[in-house]
Chains A and B, each alone.
Chain A
């Protein structure tokens, strides 16, 4: 049990729609990272937030955006959903020596 929670657990959206995924922690980690895990693949780094500022982005288009709030919870927003966005989205809290992963949100785009 990492203490990192994500909501919702599952989500089904239609192509072209927008989606918001959420991540929070019982502990006050000031760094949060988001990863996309397509079926049968390893997680791919989307972006990281540190003290409410974006601190690096992977190879994802601008329609993937995020926020980190003063209580260190975070949102991942995806606009103009595409079929290839179907994946498990994982958030990880903590930096440096250890990152604690949440259980993920399974997004299906139809």
Chain B
């Protein structure tokens, strides 16, 4: 079975500082990995995805993530946070063998202070 762990429930970061959100997955085969962002009362917006190839993935809004198979991790990073980045972030794993059904982590809430 596939699963995702996001160890940090809540992170507070100053505007302009860097941000890193952790994600660990469990899956036997090659996973497809995703990061989504959800603003209050909204649906999910895809930030970036990894299927294969280059392990450093660039996404929208200046986000990037690095796939590390040896650590079963897919951490999300942003060099300089903007106040509009305050939201909830979800890591998700899927696979071709599971018809791309997604398993999500519990999420990390990001607060940005001025």
Q: A42-B105, A43-B104, A97-B51 are in contact. Are A56 and B43 (CB under 8 A)?
A: no
Q: Would A42 and B90 count as touching, CB distance under 8 A?
A: yes
Assembly CA distance A2 to B43 (angstroms) = 10
Within residues 69 to 111 of chain B, which ones have a CB less than 8 A from any CB in chain A? 90, 92, 96, 98-107
Q: Would A101 and B99 count as touching, CB distance under 8 A?
A: no
In the complex, the number of residue pairs spanning A and B with C-beta atoms less than 8 Å apart equals 63
- How many B residues, CB 8 Å from partner? 24
Question: Footprint of A on B, CB under 8 Å?
Answer: 4, 32, 36, 41-46, 49, 51, 90, 92, 96, 98-107
Within residues 74 to 110 of chain A, which ones have a CB less than 8 A from any CB in chain B? 90, 92, 95-104, 106
Contacts of B41 in A (CB 8 A): 106
